[in-house]
Structure 1
Amino acid sequence: MKEKKVVSIEDRIPKLKQARKKKANRRLIFYLSIFFILISIIVYLQSPLSHIKQIQVKGNEFVSKDEVIASSKLTTKTNIWTIDRSKIEKEIGQNDVIKSVEVMRKLPWTVEIQLHEHGHIGYIKEKGLYHPVLENGEALKSTSKSVIGDAPLLSDFNDKKFLLQLAKELNQLPDSIIRLISEISWQPTEKNKNKIILYMNDGYTVDGTIRDFANKMKAYPSIVAQLEPGEEGIIHIGVGSYFEKTGSEEKKKETEEALDESS
Structure 2
Amino acid sequence: MSKKNIVSIEDRIPKLKQARKKKANRRLIFYLSIFFFLISIIVYLQSPLSNIKTIQVHGNTHVSNESIIEQSGLTMDTNIWMLNQKHTEDLLTKNPIIESVEVSRKLPWTVDIKVNEYKIVGYTKEETNYFPILGNGVMINQLGQSSFNGKSPLILGFTEEEYLHKMAEELNELPSTISALISEIHWQPTDENKNKILLYMNDGYLVDATIRDFSDKMEVYPSIVAQLDPKSKGIIHLGVGVYFESFEKRPASDEEEIDRIEEDNTTE
Please, what TM-score do these two structures have when normalized by structure 2? 0.88
CA RMSD in angstroms, aligned pairs only? 2.4
CA distance in 2, matches of 1:193, 1:90: 35
Report the alpha carbon displacement of residue 254 of structure 1 after superposing the two structures with TM. 5.1
- Structure 1 alignment gaps of length 5 or more: none
Aligned twin of 1:242: 243
Q: For residue 33 of structure 1, what is the amino acid of its counterpart?
A: S
Structure 2 match to 1:130: 130
Q: Using the aligned pairs only, state the percent identity.
A: 58
- Distance, in Å, in 1 between the alignment partners of 2:123 and 2:93 is 23
How far apart in 2 are the matches of 1:202 and 1:252? 22
Residue-by-residue CA offset, 1:12-61 (whole Å, 9 max, x unaligned)? 12211211111121112112211221221122122221110100112222
CA distance in 1, matches of 2:178, 2:207: 13
What corresponds to 1:29 in structure 2? Answer: 29
Partner residue in 2 for 1:78: 78
| Distance apart, 1:153 and its partner CA | 1.0
Task: Give yes or no for the alignment of 1:177 onto 2:183.
Answer: no
For 2:213 and 2:88, how far apart are their aligned partners in 1?
Answer: 38
Separation in 1, partners of 2:252, 2:179: 28
- Partners of 1:148 and 1:25 in 2: CA distance: 77
**TM-score after normalising by structure 1:** 0.89
Amino acid at match of 1:207: D
CA shift for structure 1 position 253: 6.3
Counterpart in the other structure of 2:164? 163
**How far apart, CA to CA, are the structure 2 residues paired with 1:138 and 1:222?**
32
Q: Does the residue aligned with 1:67 lie in a helix, a strand or coil?
A: helix
Counterpart of 1:106 in structure 2 is: 106
Q: Residues 171-203 of structure 1, C-alpha deviation per residue, up to 9 Å, x if partnerless?
A: 332222111111101122333322211111112
Query: Match of 2:90, SS?
Result: helix
For residues 39-58 of structure 1, what are the structure 2 equivalents within 5 Å?
39-58=39-58
Amino acid at match of 1:104: S
More deviation, 5-14/226-235: 226-235
Secondary structure (helix, strand or coil) at the match of 1:74 reads coil
TM-aligned CA deviation for residue 99 of structure 1: 2.1
